[in-house]
Structure 1
Amino acid sequence: MSKARFSRDRRVTRLTRSSISSHDSGSAASQQGRPSDSGLLDDLSLMRVSELQTSLTRKGKPSKTGSDVSESSSGSTKHGLPSPSGSSVRAPGRTAPRGALETVGRLMKLGRLRNVVVVAGAGISTASGIPDFRTPGTGLYANLEKYNVPYPEAVFNIDYFSDDPRPFFSLAKELYPGRHRPNYIHYFIRMLHQKGLLLRMYTQNIDGLEKMCGIPDDKLVEAHGSFATASCHLCYTPFPAEEAKTAIMSDSVPTCSFCSATVKPNVVFFGEDLPETYFQHAQDFPRADLLMIMGTSLQIEPFASLVNTVKSNVPRLLLNRYAVGPFERKPLRRGDYMELGDLVDSVRRLAEILGWHAEIQDLMNSHENGTLPMLISTSPSSTGVLVPSCSSEESDSSETESKSTEPSVLSNHRPLQAL
């Protein structure tokens, strides 16, 4: 028995990956405390007013006089906020309230959001040609039908793997690092790091694209493991990762030299312990002042519940094709934002608002052409601060946008596939 396994067994509380989804009840995860920034609260309240107005309009009900969403002849609501977007009455020269991306982007440019935590799932990699897991017909689970797995998630069940490793190895061949390239979304997150705003990225992905685009190890938590190492699934004896990859890519089964059991990459299966780095969330999420949630279904625990552990006054921005987790609740919690639709398009528009689009394009092109060193640290620095070696810092007052510059499509990128 390896030392790492013995250490895990000694732990009183074990946290394992689970396929059981959890829906936010709003009570267990909310924390006490009142927002301290009145300007921030004003910005957050705009979305609530707009949502109420839209709801009344769809039902065909006029706004009641004296209600929170009623408008005066000056084009303001009862609380003096700008009239909701699309309203028929608006004072001359008064601008419409900002949407989710505009509001979050403005607060970032003002320097109010300095510690950003990113939570990401398979949806951020579809633009790199990797299908997500659950989309009917095109998802990775749909391609496992030939193996007659009892249910799709069985491919990540350690007991099923012990009996038949072929379904997982088939999936692994598609996901092994090196077959795909990072896309615009990955480089946006790296730009967050280069601007000194990324506190940590928590990813469910095992494709390695976050590291490939240059997000440093000390800023990245691969919550479901990776292909970087391999070991015996039974006795946990380490196994050379490259030998395991060679065997799997040639449709062979790598076996342990100690006990002859099947070797697998150190991807976390259902029922297995999460990596030690995952537990950094206990320090990271209370420090966050913005949570970005990208391309995830929020169905796998305990990862899904992370989004409920930030302080109650911290803005949460969901960039996704559809509402998930606590964002399915009506009405939304104050400070919750959604931008639904194509993920690359949403991220690009946020980058344009921040004035980062041209920098991200240059970063992508330089990196792919091999002229830019990757910023990957093997261990956190003694000071905990990473000094970027490329791209000059942008001033907080910069308003430059690059909407006229279309994102280039790298020659070795595979076609975009729908989530």
Structure 2
Amino acid sequence: MTEKNATSIKRLAKLVKNPNAKVIFMVGAGISTSCGIPDFRSPGTGLYDNLAKLNLPFAEAVFDIDFFEKNPEPFYTLAKELYPGNYEPSNFHYLMRLFQDKGKLHRVYTQNIDTLERAAGILPDNLVEAHGSFAKNHCIKCHKVFVQEIFEQAINEDKEFLKCVHCNGLIKPQIVFFGENLPSLFFSSWDDDCAKLGEDHIVIVAGTSLAVYPFASLPTEVPKITNRSLINLQRVGDFKNNPRKSDVIYLGSSDHAAEQLAAELGWLDDLKILTNMTTIKLQEDENRETCFTHEDKDLKLDKVADVLEKLKLDEREPEEKAGSEKGEKEKELEVQKERD
């Protein structure tokens, strides 16, 4: 970590430690690239650069509502790749979950359609999906809303394009396409939140190029008395064109920043629990195993100390683990001899 980044993490942690501090996150595709999801605009690796195989008239056509109405197939191809369940949340997603669990989260505004905020456990009341998501579907003609499962079934079973039973219009996920309006919740939530921002609030912008409006304008509307922070590979938007002296800038990986900020706040063990809970299995009784997943809404960090202890044990050197296991077996044999 560079000296500047180290200083930024300490500054940001100091702001968060304020007992009255509340954080608003504004995030983009950069927090999901480590999950395997490409961002949109990076040359060579971005989503738009990799859509040539779909024979589109222009890359953005895959999200153009007029083009979708004429030819839904390219979007179906893309949706099958990006659909929820194909990817797991990143360290940064789980850091935002930690802010929620610690009572420090005010809201997450996301440009992402991958629903990984939901997968990490961010509650609906704390989440504004500015560009929509795969969580619901609607008819593009009559706007009737349909459950998520029907579109998921359609792309998984290669069925014909979904049509509305009421008007025969095409059904698609409630992702905002070019030519569609952003959800009214985006505007109403931001108007309300922006009016409440004060000196104890922190707005953290992460993993975004701040190139798409109106989302890109949000940091410019943050009051001067409110602290802003950018966690990104480079300066963007208002942080580049109109920086403030109080801005806290971290230039680097959002996942690395998540680990470093968690460590500075004393939350690193909690972060390890969250990032490992999709793979750790605990023996609940003789006949059944249970697995912690990101869907466990009632999971409380203070109740999983044994999980952390298991993590620490699993991190021991192989020789140490083998010796410990051998000792446990010898104890079992001694107990058995006494019984006999």
TM-score by length of 2: 0.78
Q: Which of 220, 230, 253 is the aligned partner of 1:308? A: 220
For residues 185 and 146 of structure 1, the distance between their equivalents in structure 2, rounded to whole angstroms, comes to 31
Deviation at 1:329, TM superposition (A): 2.3
Q: Does the CA contact (< 8 Å) of 1:298 and 1:324 recur in 2?
A: yes
Unaligned runs of 5+ in 2: 281-290, 304-311, 316-340
Q: Does the CA contact (< 8 Å) of 1:286 and 1:309 recur in 2?
A: no
The amino acid across from 1:391 in the alignment is L
The amino acid across from 1:313 in the alignment is I
Q: Does the CA contact (< 8 Å) of 2:5 and 2:249 recur in 1?
A: no
Q: Which of 223, 232, 242 is the aligned partner of 2:139? A: 232
The amino acid across from 2:230 in the alignment is L
Deviation at 1:322, TM superposition (A): 1.3
Q: Does the CA contact (< 8 Å) of 1:115 and 1:287 recur in 2?
A: no
Q: Does the CA contact (< 8 Å) of 2:229 and 2:249 recur in 1?
A: yes
For residues 209 and 57 of structure 2, the distance between their equivalents in structure 1, rounded to whole angstroms, comes to 22
Q: How does 1:313-328 map to 2 (within 5 A)?
A: 313-328=225-240
Q: Does the CA contact (< 8 Å) of 1:215 and 1:375 recur in 2?
A: no
Counterpart of 2:218 in 1: which secondary structure? Answer: helix
Q: Which of 256, 278, 282 is the aligned partner of 2:191? A: 282
Q: How does 1:368-379 map to 2 (within 5 A)?
A: 368-369=279-280, 370-371=291-292, 374=295
Counterpart of 2:32 in 1: which secondary structure? Answer: helix
Determine if the alignment matches structure 1 residue 359 to structure 2 residue 267: no
Residues 368 and 186 of structure 1, relative CA distance in 2, 3 Å threshold: farther
Deviation at 1:196, TM superposition (A): 0.6
Q: Which residue of 2 aligns with 1:293?
A: 205
The amino acid across from 1:209 in the alignment is L
Unaligned runs of 5+ in 1: 1-84, 87-95, 377-387, 394-404, 409-419
Q: How does 1:207-222 map to 2 (within 5 A)?
A: 207-222=114-129
Q: Deviations over 1:314-343 (max 9, x none)?
A: 11111111111011227x212112111222
Q: Which residue of 1 aligns with 2:284?
A: none
Q: Which residue of 2 aligns with 1:260?
A: 168
Determine if the alignment matches structure 1 residue 105 to structure 2 residue 13: yes
Structure 1 residue ranges (4+ consecutive) displaced by more than 6 angstroms after TM superposition = none
Deviation at 1:275, TM superposition (A): 1.9
Q: Which of 387, 390, 414 is the aligned partner of 2:300? A: 390
The amino acid across from 1:193 in the alignment is Q
For residues 157 and 254 of structure 1, the distance between their equivalents in structure 2, rounded to whole angstroms, comes to 17
Highest relative contact order (Cα 8 Å, sep 6+), 1 or 2?
Answer: 1
Determine if the alignment matches structure 1 residue 135 to structure 2 residue 47: no
| Higher fraction of strand | 2
For residues 208 and 165 of structure 1, the distance between their equivalents in structure 2, rounded to whole angstroms, comes to 21
Counterpart of 1:99 in 2: which secondary structure? Answer: helix
The amino acid across from 2:191 in the alignment is A
The amino acid across from 1:285 in the alignment is C
Deviation at 1:97, TM superposition (A): 11
Residues 321 and 241 of structure 1, relative CA distance in 2, 3 Å threshold: same
Query: How many residues are paired up?
Result: 289
Counterpart of 1:146 in 2: which secondary structure? Answer: helix
The amino acid across from 1:265 in the alignment is P
Deviation at 1:98, TM superposition (A): 7.1
For residues 171 and 223 of structure 1, the distance between their equivalents in structure 2, rounded to whole angstroms, comes to 20
TM-score by length of 1: 0.64
The amino acid across from 1:371 in the alignment is F
CA RMSD of aligned residues (A): 2.5
The amino acid across from 1:205 in the alignment is N
Q: Does the CA contact (< 8 Å) of 1:117 and 1:285 recur in 2?
A: no
Deviation at 1:238, TM superposition (A): 3.1
Residues 168 and 108 of structure 1, relative CA distance in 2, 3 Å threshold: same
Residues 240 and 200 of structure 1, relative CA distance in 2, 3 Å threshold: closer
Counterpart of 1:229 in 2: which secondary structure? Answer: strand
For residues 248 and 99 of structure 1, the distance between their equivalents in structure 2, rounded to whole angstroms, comes to 47
For residues 279 and 192 of structure 2, the distance between their equivalents in structure 1, rounded to whole angstroms, comes to 34
Deviation at 1:153, TM superposition (A): 2.0
Q: How does 1:4-403 map to 2 (within 5 A)?
A: 99-111=7-19, 114-251=21-158, 252-278=160-186, 279-288=188-197, 289-329=201-241, 332-369=243-280, 370-371=291-292, 374=295, 390-392=300-302
Q: Which residue of 2 aligns with 1:17?
A: none
